[in-house]
Amino acid sequence: MAFSYITEQLDDRKTLARYRKRVCVQADVESQSTKINIAGKNYLNFSSNDYLGLNNHIQINKAMQEGLDKFGLSSCSSSLVTGFNYAHQALEDKICQWLNKPKCLLFSSGFAANTALFQTLGHDALQSNCQFYLDKLSHASMLDGAFSSKAKVKRFAHNDTTQLAKLLSASGDSNKLIASEGIFSMDGDQAEVNELKQLAKEHDAWLFLDDAHSIGVIGDQGQGSSAILNSNKTPAANIVMGTFGKAIATSGAFLACDEQLHDYLINFARHYIYSTAISPALAWATIKSIELIQQEQWRRDKIFELSDLLKSLLDPNIEVTPSASSIHAIIVGSEQKALKVSEQLKEQGIWLTAIRPPTVPVGSSRLRVTVCAQHNHNDIKHLAKCLNEALI
């Protein structure tokens, strides 16, 4: 029977408690709510990436409507045909000013941006002296892009800059790229960005940072990893990727870089050349979201205040990864136990997704808690109480 492996592999996933399925979230009429409605039941949501609580913000919604009125919903073409318009240019200029980068390119998603970057830098056999060095916990989009390119790929142990230094020293390649997430998506800890930048300088390498979970949350204006590097008078990363669909609360992504790489990507990045440009209305709304992020420090302060409260209320026997962000990984261990605890929490009105292999290593299944600016003290107290009861 053709493609019989499909059924076999799905059955294997079910046996290993790694089977995934979607749930449909009902429309939420309450602006900036921490609640979601699934199958007619309301839950307190601790799985959202809306870190700053900006989703459904009235000013962003208004900007979206303005964008619709000015430009329409669709760009109607790729950026290199007729799809690049004033809204896109204005958003790119806003990002460049925000992150102090010369140039910026917009993409439909962070996955597309990451894949485009790695495939394009390593796309040619003539560039066989190109080598990528990726943190072991780098996002799947970085790994897919790197391994589908023609560059050589090395992975260093998570945040192990000593091992990275040894790998760089042993390399004879002239084109080296160090790549890491700024904030790691499944653990919530921060990359050693200053050390990575120093190693890049010492070994004449470029530094790429995936700031999907840093942008908006880190820095006095939400600049992400760029804020850390610039605060120490160290030049920012050569290339920064950020997404709009998390803290920025719209949709899409960007790559910020220098002028030469910008032009190179326009000419050689297939994901950019052959994709319809993102909605100009979305781009217009994203500008307003970034302005709010720059102005409203209280949102970042609230995340760290509530995060500290959660850690103080959890039983000390519960294993929580060190975090510098909204993300707090509560390590459970087995897939079965993670699913069981997730179901127990649902009975208490809490939506907290179990994260299992292959997303995380075997034996490290977890509950990935995201603390957002719209949560309050009572939400955190209820979560901590339910987690203590379920895990201890």
Q: Which of 213, 271, 302, 328 is catalytic?
A: 213
77 is catalytic: no
- Of the listed 49, 109, 159, 307, which one is catalytic? 49
70 catalytic per annotation: no
Q: How far does CA 116 lie from the centroid of its chain?
A: 16
User: Which is the catalytic residue, given 45, 141, 149, 185?
Assistant: 185
The residue from 92, 135, 181, 335 that is catalytic is: 181
Question: How far is CA 161 from each of CA 8, 151, 168, rounded to the nearest angstrom?
Answer: 41, 21, 10
Q: How many CB atoms lie within 10 A of CB 31?
A: 11
Q: Which of 261, 309, 351 is nearest to 44 (CA)?
A: 351
Cα 55 from Cα 123, distance rounded (Å) = 37
62 assigned to active site: no
Residues in Cβ contact with 185 at an 8 Å cutoff, skipping those fewer than 6 apart? 139, 212, 213, 327
Task: Identify which of 211, 166, 196 has the alpha carbon closest to the alpha carbon of residue 324.
Answer: 211
Mark whether 37 is an active-site residue: no
Question: Using CA of residue 37, residue 39, residue 45, residue 47, what is the dihedral sign?
Answer: negative
Catalytic residue among 139, 176, 288, 328: 139
Say which of 57, 197, 246, 271 is annotated catalytic.
Answer: 246
246 is a catalytic site residue? yes
- The answer to whether 220 is a known catalytic residue is no
Query: Of the listed 92, 135, 210, 211, which one is catalytic?
Result: 210
Question: For residue 375, how far is the Cα from the chain centroid?
Answer: 20
328 given a catalytic annotation:
no
Residues with active-site annotation: 49, 139, 181, 185, 210, 213, 246
